[in-house]
Each structure stands twice: as C-alpha cells, then as structure tokens.
Structure 1
C-alpha cells in the first residue's frame, strides 16, 4: 500500500535515510520487501521541522515516483532536520494528485498513513460529515488517509493524541460495520507536533501492516562498536519505519500488533492500542 518513516534525534541530512541505507525509502519505492505492493510509485512527500521547532513544518510533495524526482534528490542532500516524516504512496483507488500525497499537515501537526479504510466510497460521506465544520474546509484531497487525520483532529488530536486516534478508529469501525464492512480499517499511522512523535499499528482483522522501531542507540553502539555513524547521533535518536532500512543485527524491533508508541525526550513509551467506540 505505502511505505513511510519517521526520524527524531540529532539533526541529519534527509538523504541519510531517504537514499543512503541499503534498503532506503527510495529503494523501497521500487523494491518493497514487506509491503502489499513491491512498487510504490504513486507520489511521495517529506515534511520536516527546522532546529527552531517553534516554526511549522515544511512540506515537499510530488505526484511522480520518488526514485525519479531530481528535486527530491537535490533537497535531500542539503536539508538537515531533527524531526522529519517521509512517505511513498501506492494508491488504494483515489487519484494520483498533489493533494493526495502524504504527509498531510494542519498547523504544527503532520500525519502519514499506510493501509486503507475498506470500501471507502461507501462510508466516505458519513465519515466526512463527522469532521468539525471548522476543520472541514482544510481537507484538500480525496484520500481516506486525510479523512482519518481530520477525524483525529476533530476528536482531540492536539490535546490527547492517543485517545483521539482511538476514537477515530472506533468511529471508522462502527461506521463501516453499519454498512456491512467486516474489517473496516487497516493502518500504521505516524503523527507529530514537532516535539513528540506518535506511531500506531492496528487493523480490524488483527493482521496489521508491518512497523518497526530502531533499537536504543546506547545498546546499539555496544552491539556494533565498529559502526562509526552510530557514534555521531544522540542516545535519544529513534527511527520508526514500515520496514527496516538495512540488515544490521539487532537494529530493528517490530511494533507488536495493536500497539502505539510515543517518541519523546526521556523514556519512550509503548502500550496496547484499543479503539474507543462512539
């Protein structure tokens, strides 16, 4: 369906994750190993915060395949960021257009999604009408992913991100089942306000799309003292990915089924995810 990654830690050039790893995100756009489709060529995007995180995120999005975009290649070698999201899209039926490329942004918040609301055309009207009227006019595209984002904002993403996503998923499931959809939602989601990052892995059928997080950097340095790159990033650096960027032993840990995680200053958090029915 799609592939995405999130980075939080010492400022690095975007190309360090988009292009340089063995199985970089650009490599995955052509040769995904764990995705439903091996090729993700229906648009791309990257959103990043500067060192001054009081400013809103910047976005660069395109509608072509990521592997062939020279502007992305150029920017990735010159933009350094302490927190960024990147996404490569494989459409589940909505058009390939600029407004349908992730990340989606509203104020300081960004959102990326891999998965689908099943039978979206059947339930779309009910879902969209539940969006706060003050937010409705900000919906620019036609994807289920963007509707999920604005439902989460409606349910309080800015105040309590975990509860807001739980309520969003519960509402989507209740709506879908009212229309006879057995398994209404499939998702891995990443969202951030520029300070913290939240990741969610969940599906109605209990067979969610893959998601991994990087091992604690202090432990990883002890495992691999020979890897020089690990010496130059902070102990709090964390990467969350749809699939691993390489085969370094011990570097990647799977996010369990029906789980959310929070990347933040100090100790990160991981806990079970349970939808809240309306």
Structure 2
C-alpha cells in the first residue's frame, strides 16, 4: 500500500517514452500526476515538494528542450499551458524538495548536456566533504558548464566523465566509487532517471536502508511506458518497483535490466 514503508524520498520524478503525447498526459492529468504529487506525495519524506520544477523533452533535435523554474509547480500557470501545448515522444519531469543547494533555476532538475538529460531524487549527506575532490576530477569541458551547487548536478557530470555514452553500468559504478563510503551524516541515497533521447534509464541505490522509490508502468493505453516516483494512478499494484543497484533501460519495446549489478 502506498505510504506504508518508511518515507525516505524527497523530490518526485515522472518520465515517459512512446508515441508522441502532450506532456500533460503524464504531468498534469492522471489522478496521482506529478503535479498532484507536488502537494500530496504519499511515499515521500515531505508531502509538499515546492522548491522548483523542470521538464526536459525530446523532439526532432538530438538535444532536449528544457524548461525549469523556482516556483512551486502548482503556482506556475505556464507549466500547465506548456504541458498542454508541447507534445513529445520522450520526456522527464521533476519537482524538487531541496536538500543541497539553494532554490535557484540552476539547481532545478533536469540537467542537460549534449543529448543527455538527467534528474535525481536523494542525497549525498557528506557532499560538502567530497565536492572539491569531485570537481577536480571533472574534465575541463564539463567543469566549465556546471552552473549550480547541487550533489545532483555533480552526479550527472561525473557520470558523463566516467563514460556514460559508452557504458551506463560502468559509469554508474565508477561514480559510486568516487562518491565513496558514507560519512557521519547518514547513508547515500540515489534514485536517478536519465536519457540519451532514445532510452530512459532508471537507477536506485541506498548505501543502507531504503532507496528512494521509483516505479515502472506496464504498457499504457497508447502503447507507451512511464516511470514515476509514485504510481500515477495511485495504485502500486499496477506498477513495478525498479530494483536497486541495477540500471534498467526502458524503451517502447519494453524494459531490460543491463548486464551487471552496479554496486556489486
């Protein structure tokens, strides 16, 4: 039952791949849509997630479009208008409850670089202690485009530096190694959704305890598929939890688990 486990989640995520649809079909219209979750989350540490929002979406171009703002999702009428008018075959949406980094547009998810877009729910509690080391490990072309101060953006650029284009499993494994073991402030918790414009990738990890939630839908009415922090219909039995420590790849054809366990 939704909300029955210990709530460890913070931000909320929803993503879609399939036949082109208006963004509102995932973000606004479902009974437990991402917009609904921004004020009434049931599997989150906080019921209200009001520290900004963002959407990345793919069309004819390789690089995604991006819209982010610091307003609470429910307070920006531009969001509902955008979601009604913009159609996409693949998109990622995120509402933020901040843990690291001030409320600013640069710190809102998703983040993008080239063909990739990325968002994250969770926290590296000891991020301040490792931030300078992780920045120093980035190649110049990635360090120079960083705009924000979040652990989430650092995870994204570290994944890219570790070869995300070539091997998402190896990149995630190397990134977790760079993050290192827990500090004294609590366990590392990561749930990530990211895409190259062709495939939606999903990953959940907790160094101890429960990883932030993420579910995969079956085939939707229109033949597409979705990911969401909480089932968009509000009924968990109709969705499948993404397994921990394994990268899953979702396309219109289905969802596959990539070869190796990331945290093995």
Same fold (TM over 0.5): yes
Q: Residues 41 and 48 of structure 2 are in contact (CA less than 8 Å); yes or no, is this contact kept in structure 1?
A: yes
- In structure 1, the residue matched to 2:214 is 211
Can you list the C-alpha shifts for 1:40-66, whole angstroms capped at 9, x where unaligned? 00000001011x2x4310001000100
Q: How does 1:135-214 map to 2 (within 5 A)?
A: 135-173=142-180, 176-177=181-182, 180-181=183-184, 184-214=187-217
| Mapped partners of 1:85, 1:35: distance in 2 | 19
1:27-176 alignment to 2 at 5 Å? 27-50=36-59, 52=60, 54-173=61-180, 176=181
Give the CA deviation at 1:184: 4.9
How many Å separate the matches in 2 of 1:254 and 1:19? 22
Equivalent residues, number = 254
In structure 2, the residue matched to 1:6 is 15
* In 2: Cα distance, 1:192 partner to 1:109 partner: 6
CA contact (8 A) 1:48 1:83 kept: yes
Distance 1:95 1:65 in 2: 14
TM-score by length of 1: 0.86
| TM superposition shift of 1:206 | 4.2
| 2:239 is aligned with 1:252 | yes
Say which SS state the counterpart of residue 77 (structure 1) adopts: helix
Question: Unaligned regions of 5+ residues in structure 2, if any?
Answer: 1-9
Aligned to 2:262: 274
Q: What is the Cα deviation at residue 120 of structure 1?
A: 1.5
| SS class of match (1:12) | strand
- Once residues 102 and 189 of structure 2 are traced to their aligned partners in structure 1, the CA distance between those partners, rounded to angstroms, is 19
8 Å contact from structure 2 (residues 169, 262) kept in 1: no
The alignment's C-alpha RMSD in Å is 1.8
Number of the residue aligned with 1:224: none
Task: Give the drift of 1:246.
Answer: 1.2
Output the CA distance in 2 between the equivalents of 1:259 and 1:38: 27
Q: Distance in 2 between matches of 1:120 and 1:250?
A: 35
User: Aligned pair in 2 of structure 1 residues 96, 182: CA closer, same or farther (>3 Å)?
Assistant: closer
SS across alignment from 2:85: coil
- Counterpart of 2:5? none
Could you tell me how far 1:70 is from its partner in structure 2? 1.1
Distance in 1 (CA, whole Å) between partners of 2:133 and 2:236 is 46
SS of 1:200's partner is strand
**Structure showing greater Rg:** 1
Structure 1 residue 197: deviation in Å?
Answer: 1.3
| 1:225 corresponding residue in structure 2 | none
Task: Measure the CA separation in 2 of the matches of 1:255 and 1:249.
Answer: 12
> Deviation per CA, 1:105-130, whole angstroms, max 9, x where unpaired?
00110000000111221221112111
Determine the C-alpha separation between the residues in 2 that align with 1:273 and 1:129: 27
**Is contact 1:167–1:275 with CA below 8 Å preserved after alignment?**
no
Q: Is the partner of 2:171 in helix, strand or coil?
A: helix
Alpha-carbon distance in structure 1 between the residues aligned to 2:142 and 2:107: 17
